[in-house]
């Protein structure tokens, strides 16, 4: 009888040991993550063919880890340089004034009498759909696409042989072409004219009444010539380089949108966490939104899942020469070792991105405890039978 019980007990232990891979867990184990990595920043012999790479967070790789993939307004052009010139276009209403040095000329007769000055102001006229205006004795002038100063020179050159030392002034009375639109979460959406001195993004938003949403969760989208970029409102207020000059036809859209990341594993709190438009470091994410549970989490393997660009990964030292078919972005796992003495400095610079997934692996002691509990549950039945038999 005792021999049979021992056999049953040993069998149960073997079964439980062979079933370690089937023990419950909150996610993939660190060994499996490494084994299936497409490439790593430290193991150049990793087998390729899988759909992710593993990169350790180190002083060497940290500078190349990109932040949010949103565009930057400074890529659209002028920032500290001069504002773009305002050019005329169809629909604009202009007024042409002709000055002559003395009476008796083309526009000022000898008997002009008392006048406030030696000039004639022509009636305002709208630039037609072909971009033209008409000036007496100068004929049809192509105004669209030109600056007022250029149109002034064209008219002056045509009148030089007919008027007495002519000087020309072209004034925009009604600006309908060089305008920008401000829409979305502002108090006064509408269309704004551009001025000769230039109009920057924050000025346009202010003229539209300002944002109507909390600054911490507000984004600004700039659309121009088929391109668009989205930048956090606070980034524009804090970084003058993002407060660029606007160009004719630009559209500014103000919207409220929360960024978020997801946490799984031994984090103490599983779920999605919103962090508005602000910048949140890995340290802040761990401290503010969840924690690394003592005796449960493995602090050596705090994993951040995201897509990373080919350029950034190659700068980190990951060899992607054999995986060109995967394009310019790769599923990437960044691994932070919170037992490293300098990790808190590095994690303070590691910025979370919208859509990031954080997974914290279980400590080895937890895996052993699960195995032990499983083995105990399996061996308990034959021992209980033995006790019951001996009690008879």
Q: What string of DSSP letters covers 94-141?
A: EEEEEE-SSSSSSSS-TT--S-SSSEEEPPPEE--TTSEEEETTTEEE
Residue 239 near residue 253, CB atoms below 8 Å: no
pTM: 0.60
Phi (first) and psi of residue 18, to 5 degrees: -70, -20
In 10 A of CB 278, how many CB atoms?
Answer: 14
Residues 243 and 133 in one domain: no
Domains: count for the chain: 3
Residues 55 and 201 in one domain: no
pLDDT digits (tens, 9 = 90+) for 245-282: 999 999 999 999 888 899 998 877 788 888 876 778 99
**CATH code for the domain of 136:** 3.30.1950.10
Q: How far apart are CA 116 and CA 99, in angstroms?
A: 12
Q: Is residue 47 a part of any domain in this protein? A: yes
Residues 106 and 252 in one domain: no
Average pLDDT over residues 152-177: 94
Domain that holds residue 193: 73-82+178-256
pLDDT digits (tens, 9 = 90+) for 192-226: 999 888 999 999 999 999 999 998 889 999 999 88
Residues 167 and 195 in one domain: no
Q: Is residue 7 a part of any domain in this protein? A: no
Residues 210 and 78 in one domain: yes
Q: Is residue 28 a part of any domain in this protein? A: yes
CA 37 to chain centre: 27
User: Which pair of structure tokens corresponds to residue 354?
Assistant: 């919208």
* Burial class (CB within 10 angstroms; exposed 0-12, middle 13-18, buried 19+) of 371: middle
Question: What pLDDT is attached to residue 38?
Answer: 62
The percentage of the chain sitting over the pLDDT mark of 90, rounded to a whole number, equals 42
Q: How far apart are CA 298 and CA 265, in angstroms?
A: 10
Residues 78 and 198 in one domain: yes
H helices within the chain, ranges in order? 2-18, 30-35, 148-159, 201-207, 233-238, 282-284, 310-315, 343-349, 364-390
Q: Is residue 365 a part of any domain in this protein? A: yes
Residues 355 and 283 in one domain: yes
**CATH code for the domain of 46:** 3.10.560.10
Q: Is residue 329 a part of any domain in this protein? A: yes
């Amino acid at each position: 009888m005792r021999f049979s019980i021992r056999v049953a007990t040993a069998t149960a232990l073997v079964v439980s040991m062979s079933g370690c891979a089937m023990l419950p867990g909150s996610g993939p184990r660190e060994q499996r993550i490494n084994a299936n990595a497409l490439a790593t920043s430290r193991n150049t012999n990793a087998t390729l063919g899988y759909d992710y790479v593993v990169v350790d967070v180190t002083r060497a790789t940290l500078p190349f880890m990109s932040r949010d993939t949103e565009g930057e307004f400074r890529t659209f052009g002028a920032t500290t340089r001069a504002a773009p010139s305002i050019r005329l276009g169809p629909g604009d209403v202009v007024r042409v004034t002709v000055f002559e040095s003395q009476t008796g000329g083309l526009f000022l007769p000898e008997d002009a009498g008392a006048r406030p000055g030696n000039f004639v102001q022509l009636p305002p006229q709208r630039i037609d759909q072909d971009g033209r205006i008409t000036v007496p004795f100068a004929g049809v002038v192509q105004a669209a696409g030109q600056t007022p100063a250029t149109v002034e020179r064209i008219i002056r050159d045509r009148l030089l042989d007919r008027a007495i030392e002519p000087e020309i002034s072209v004034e925009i009375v009604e600006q309908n072409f060089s305008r920008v639109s401000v829409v979305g979460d502002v108090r006064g959406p509408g269309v704004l004219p551009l001025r000769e001195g230039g109009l920057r993004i924050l000025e346009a938003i202010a003229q539209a009444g300002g944002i109507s949403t909390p600054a911490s969760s507000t984004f600004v989208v700039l659309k121009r010539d088929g391109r668009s970029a989205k930048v956090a409102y606070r980034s524009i207020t804090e970084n003058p380089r993002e407060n660029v000059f606007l160009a004719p036809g630009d559209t500014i859209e103000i919207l409220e949108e929360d960024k978020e990341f997801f946490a799984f594993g031994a984090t103490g709190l599983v779920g999605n966490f919103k962090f508005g438009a602000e910048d949140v470091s890995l340290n802040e994410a761990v401290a503010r939104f969840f924690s690394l549970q003592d005796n449960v989490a493995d602090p050596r393997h705090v994993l951040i899942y995201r897509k990373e660009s080919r350029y950034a990964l190659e700068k980190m030292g990951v060899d992607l020469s054999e995986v060109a078919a995967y394009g310019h972005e790769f599923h990437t796992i960044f691994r932070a070792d919170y037992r490293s003495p300098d990790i808190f400095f590095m994690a303070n610079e590691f910025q979370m991105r919208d859509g990031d997934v954080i997974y914290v692996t279980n400590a080895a002691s937890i895996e052993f405890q699960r195995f032990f509990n499983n083995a105990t549950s399996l061996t308990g039945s034959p021992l209980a039978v033995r006790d019951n038999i001996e009690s008879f």
